[in-house]
Amino acid sequence: MSDALDNQSLFRSEIRSLRDEVAALRAEREAESARLEAESVRQEETVRALRDELASLKRRLSAGDGGGSGIDFPPAEFLASPLVIASGGEFLGVQGKGKHFSLKDFVQLIERKESAAVAVETSWKRQNGHWVLVVRTEDADGGREQNIVLVAKKTVTPSRNTVTEIIRLNIDGNDAPDALLLTLFRQLKTVFNG
């Protein structure tokens, strides 16, 4: 009986030791998991920053491909002005979280689509006093291409606000109707405020 009690005490001690070891291994696994998640987030931020930098460089260099003497790129003021469309004699834009949605924000949304599966190329040109943004996307998997041409101009509203007005949006050779632009701006408002 004494031996059985000693064995039982020994087994309990062994079980306690194993429980402590399992708890330590769980804690170690959770710490490693948290470290890996933090590293993943850091790497995603680095990749996003590099993509933004690459897109910015592409924008700056794309106008130089045609053999022109310099880079044709809109001024920062034009890119930062509120982006609007004219509808029914009014100018409609997107406002959210204390700031307005600008052409710069629009271009960044487009450039975020760039990935290993989707190539995005943007270029600017000045034409008839307007700025023309040409966006070409290509799906590497499906081989599908999309060409978007956005024509914008600087406009002063009746209330004397300087804005960037979209005067034409063409997708794959078809001009977007006003209803599509209104829908686009509603979706932008959702994204911008989200």
Q: How far is Cα 101 from Cα 94, in angstroms, rounded to an integer?
A: 5
User: How far is it, in rounded angstroms, from Cα 64 to Cα 31?
Assistant: 50
β-pairing verdict for 162-171 and 83-87:
parallel
Structural domain spans, the chain = 1-68, 72-193
From residue 101, give the alpha-carbon distance in Å to each of 92, 93, 166: 11, 7, 13
- The pLDDT of residue 194 is 57
Specify the pTM.
Answer: 0.61
- Tell me the pLDDT tens digit for each residue of 139-175: 877 778 989 999 999 999 888 989 999 999 999 999 9
**Beta carbons within 8 Å of 188's beta carbon, 6+ residues apart:** 94, 101, 106, 109
Query: How many angstroms from the chain centroid is the CA of residue 60?
Result: 19
pLDDT per residue over 44-83, tens digit each? 999 988 887 877 776 666 545 444 445 678 888 999 999 9
Average pLDDT, the chain: 84
